[in-house]
Amino acid sequence: MSVEASERPTSAAKIQLIPHTPNNPARKSMPTRGENAPGAGLEAAKCLPLHGMDTYRKIIHIDMDAFFAAVEQRDNPALRGLPVAVGGNGPRGVISTASYEARRFGVHSALATAIARRRCPQLVLLQPRFDVYKGVNAQLAELFHEYTDLVEFLSIDEAFLDVTENKVGVELASDIAQDIRQRIREELQLTASAGVSYCKFLAKIASEQRKPDGLYTIHPDRAEHFIARLPIDKFWGVGPKTAERMRYIGVFNGGDLRKLTLPQLTSHFGKQGRMFYEFARGIDPRPVVTEHEAKSIGCERTFEKDLRTEMGAIVELYHVTLELLERLQRHKEFQGRTLTLKVKYEDFSQITRSVSQDKPFSTKEQILTKAKALLSKADRTKGIRLIGLSVSNPAPAETENHDRQWVQLSFDFTGQGTDTPSPKKARSSLRKN
Ligand SMILES: [Mg+2]
């Protein structure tokens, strides 16, 4: 796992997994097994239009429609047809998920609850029931595994499936996607949208095309055409701020993006520039990585507004810590002794800081204390646009090294430990899904 680096095109606050550096397999490796090996198979001829990109893989992206809200409407029929939102109620409260009825009023995820209420006074606001959502997530995982073991959850309600080789012996990925959608409807009484393509980037974009309750396939021979017309804010990794920057330099769609050279893109967007360069050409060799292969577990948040105060940064760090804990609790077998903080600034520069300890990170206190210490080392003169936390399990030698680093860090941290927000406050601005 540990692959998705980027902010969401549609919801800047969506939780993402963090790439584990420096050996992020997503960026470096091609699939090596069987007929997925680079260059294998007769379909190699298809690669030509896409600059040598392998296009024979069959990737499905399944995304549940208005997940939290849909579960609430399923479980309480009185809510069906009403504008429903799941989210926080406090002064900093944020909408997590809005039903499609609520979306008609302009209520959407990551919107401040206060604004949502103004737009839709009759909005039914519900507190999240994470245990129920997690239960549905487990049912989804079970269902997906009937088709393939190559399942990678991006968040609680969306996943990639690599069905190039699948357990049901069905050749067309779109047939599998349709079957899965039908079973989700029948067995879980929920709807999902699916995208099908030869890589993760396009499969994910495809699932957005016919939402809700739709299926869309981007065939390899249509990929370039599709990408050229794709508005820049629909690209994976392009949130509102990046989109603004793109438009500023004259990039409004994939066709424009493709006119920029790699050095131009990296000078504007740092490491992400290479990703945009490749996406513009339909290149995305990242494999679907299952949780068993996880080298790290993490999550990150991109903020609607850059964080400018220390308190603001710590409050958000607290939220990210809670998310990380949730993920760790879902993977109890995972033991990570290194905690890494990632901070991305308003100017798109990015830092990571790590600290290691002898025992695995498993409690809120352990993680929050050290995360705050790491954050205290970050540059405070610039606005922060993203905070991420991950836990990984490095080689022992590395651990030793980090321990020494930690002694120094803990000294700097003294005196900053008293302003942890209460859990209630953290939950009130929950942003997820
Ligand atoms: Mg969804």
Domain containing 415 equals 295-428
pTM: 0.65
Cis omega (within 30 of 0) on the bond before 421? no
Catalytic residue among 4, 158, 278, 323: 158
Residue 267 buriedness (CB in 10 A; 0-12 / 13-18 / 19+): exposed
Could you give the 3-state DSSP secondary structure of residue 330? helix
387 lies in some domain:
yes
Here the CATH number for the domain that contains residue 383 is: 3.30.1490.100
Q: Say what the pLDDT of residue 406 is.
A: 28
> 333 C-alpha vs ligand 1 centroid, how far in Å?
27
What's the pLDDT score for residue 399? 33
The CA 185 to ligand 1 mean position distance, Å, reads 15
Distance between CA 183 and CA 23 in Å, rounded?
37
pLDDT at 142: 96
Number of domain units in the chain: 1
Nearest residue to 331 via CA among 367, 304, 294:
294
Q: Is residue 7 within 8 Å of 239, Cβ to Cβ?
A: yes
Q: What is the pLDDT of residue 291?
A: 67
pLDDT value, residue 258: 97
Please tell me the predicted confidence (pLDDT) of residue 388. Answer: 94
What's residue 292's pLDDT? 61
Residue 104 domain flag:
no
Query: Are 236 and 257 contacting, i.e. CB atoms less than 8 angstroms apart?
Result: no
Cα(64) to centroid(ligand 1), Å: 4
Beta strands in 106-204 (DSSP E): 124-126, 151-155, 158-162, 192-197
Cα distances from 150 to residues 5, 37, 293, 383, in angstroms, run 19, 15, 10, 38
CA of 83 to the centre of ligand 1 (A): 17
CA dihedral 360, 366, 372, 375 (to 10 degrees): 0
How remote is the CA of residue 105 from the centroid of ligand 1, in Å? 19
Residue 389: inside a domain? yes
In the annotation, is 158 catalytic?
yes
For 60-102, the pLDDT digits (tens) are 999 999 999 999 999 999 999 999 999 988 888 889 999 999 9
Query: Which residues does the chain have with pLDDT short of 50?
Result: 1-49, 395-433
**What is the Å distance from ligand 1's center to 85 Cα?**
14
Q: Following DSSP, what letter does each residue of 270-302 receive, concatenated?
A: TTHHHHHHHHHTT---PPP--GGG-SEEEEEEE
Query: How far apart are the CA of 68 and the centre of ligand 1, in A?
Result: 9
Q: Rounded CA gap, 432 and 255, in Å? A: 32
Quote the pLDDT of residue 302. 83
Residue 370 within any structural domain of the chain: yes
- The whole-angstrom separation of Cα 150 and Cα 3 is 14
Q: What is the pLDDT of residue 241?
A: 87
What pLDDT does 310 receive?
87
**What is residue 172's predicted lDDT score, i.e. its pLDDT?**
96
Task: Decide if 348 is inside a domain.
Answer: yes
Residues less than 5 Å from ion ligand 1, measured at CB: 63-64, 67, 157
Query: Mind listing the pLDDT tens digit for each residue in 15-35?
Result: 333 333 333 333 333 333 333
User: Is residue 311 included in any domain, yes or no?
Assistant: yes
Tokens 């079970």: give the residue.
142
C-alpha 242/C-alpha 233 separation (Å) is: 8
Res 301: pLDDT: 87
Q: What is the pLDDT of residue 293?
A: 63
- Residue 112 belongs to some domain of the structure: no
Residue 20 located in a structural domain: no
Alpha helices (runs of H) in 331-422, residue ranges in sequence order: 364-376, 396-413
